[in-house]
Chain A
Amino acid sequence: MKVSVKVNGTQYERDVEPRMLLSYFLREELGLTGTHVGCDSSSCGCCVVALDGDRAVKSCTMFAVMADGHEITTVEGLEQGAVLHPLQQGFWDQHGLQCGYCTPGMLMTSYALLKHNPDPSDTEIREAISGNLCRCTGYQNIVKAIRQEADVINAPQEKSA
């Protein structure tokens, strides 16, 4: 089955079995191994990517063929050139990761969250990432990391001289 999908700004055409999961399509067909697989029951969120810019979806619970005609952003698509996305910077600054396995999914979920709710409370952040599991951090610094990014977005604009 043919699938045509734009991933991180690049258009791809591939021919795949319908049963190929989007997570494996990204990892193996396109070599974008930043998206991870952590479970087999759609519970862990390590595989989360952004669909059409602002929808966080579990790529293990989608077939690649469903992405035909759509746009996917993976963690590799967050940085612009060599410049980190402020979310990535936030995770680094706030020690929001340890083993790094849940991190891409956390980044993409919070990326989508902040598009809909640019100034979330800590409670709203915790609710938004409750589809993403982490075994290392206890979530506390992840919340701080997302909070840092939100503060960056919401910072009052510098007045020009």
Chain B
Amino acid sequence: MFPASFDYRRARSIDEALGILSQYGGDARILAGGQSLIPAMRYRLARPAVLVDINPIDDLSYIIEDGDTLRIGARTRDSDLERWKALAGYPLIADAAVLVADPVVRQMGTIVGSLCHNDPAGDWPVVALTGRASLVVRGANGERTIPIDDFLVDSYATAVADGEMATEVRFPRPGPGSAGAYYKMERKVGDFATAAAGTRVTLAADGTIADAAIAIGAAGPKAMRVAAAEALLRGQKPSKEAVRAAADAARALADPTADNRGSAEYKKEMAAVLVERALLKTLERLGVGGLR
């Protein structure tokens, strides 16, 4: 109910934050939205000795279309994304933006923070995998850009090392002939996913699938790309059978844990159902219908 005591430092710049992190190493945690960290601290499941509050860093609040890249700063709130005027151009992100947690939590929660938290049933890791995102991570030794596949290491574990902080997430802009969708099964608003699926499809001029990205969440220790499904779809003409095969590949890959949200068997099946529905939605957004 009440967190254990901790020391608190305010950072007004990225350098200041990094300085504090290097001072305390693994004992210090970044505090951004706090919507995952603070509940964990209240149950005393997390007991950081030091919190580094980066909320004062206004420079980290941005959503920029920079050439072919969408760049989202670490202090950008989920609600900022939700209200972003150009969000419609990113249907995969737009779908997820209204499904994360609940509308009040989204006023403080951040997409970068959520990716750094890497809850196995979180929404943003699935979206980031589907969207082929990458994270910009800065430390004392400079900056590196980590592709999402390498960034998400394990449940609640990422490639951010001690003394480093993630400052930005980047998504390649979907080109013409490209659309995406995100589906989440939840027992009620605010629940973690029982199952989640993100899909993105790019069609070639001849109507075949030039590229496909499929990821599932709440289906293992971390969100996963369904590489087999992606390979299956590449070069294919969109069809009921192709979609079904992709869903089957998702089911085969899914390795969920049983909990109050469902048995492993049910969650596996729902991974397949959601991949199928997300793919059909994606194709409909590309003008390809009649596959249901």
Closest beta carbon of chain A to B177's beta carbon, Å: 31
- Per-position 1/0 for A139-161, Cβ under 8 A of B: 00000000000000000000000
Q: Find the A residue at minimum CB distance from B105.
A: A131
Does A130 lie within 8 Å of B105, measured CB to CB? no
Known: A19-B2, A58-B104, A130-B103. A66 touches B53 (CB 8 A): yes
Instruction: Give the dominant DSSP class at B's interface.
Output: loop
State which residues 3-41 of A face B: CB under 8 Å.
Answer: 17-19, 21, 40-41
Does A66 lie within 8 Å of B102, measured CB to CB? no
Q: Which of B2, B5, B6, B108 contacts A61 (CB 8 A)?
A: B108
- Per-position 1/0 for A46-79, Cβ under 8 A of B: 0010010001111001110110110000000000
Closest beta carbon of chain A to B48's beta carbon, Å: 11
Closest beta carbon of chain A to B33's beta carbon, Å: 9
Known: A19-B4, A19-B5, A42-B35. A131 touches B189 (CB 8 A): yes
Q: Find the A residue at minimum CB distance from B8.
A: A18
Does A43 lie within 8 Å of B190, measured CB to CB? yes
Q: Find the A residue at minimum CB distance from B53.
A: A66
Residues of A within 8 A of B190 (CB): 43, 130-131
Interface residues of B (CB under 8 A from A): 1-8, 10, 31, 34-35, 38-39, 41-43, 51, 53, 55-56, 79, 83, 98, 101-105, 107-108, 189-190
* Docked pose: A112 CA to B42 CA in angstroms: 26
Does B104 lie within 8 Å of A56, measured CB to CB? yes
- The answer, yes or no, to whether A116 is at the interface (CB within 8 Å) is yes
Q: Which of A55, A66, A129, A130 contacts B34 (CB 8 A)?
A: A66
Q: Which of B98, B103, B108 contacts A62 (CB 8 A)?
A: B108
How many of chain A's residues touch chain B, expressed as a range? 20 to 34
Known: A55-B107, A58-B104. A41 touches B39 (CB 8 A): yes
- Given A48-B104, A56-B103; 12 other pairs, CB 8 A cutoff: A19-B4, A40-B1, A45-B102, A58-B108, A61-B38, A61-B108, A69-B56, A127-B98, A127-B189, A129-B103, A131-B101, A131-B104
Closest beta carbon of chain A to B96's beta carbon, Å: 15
Does A1 lie within 8 Å of B105, measured CB to CB? no
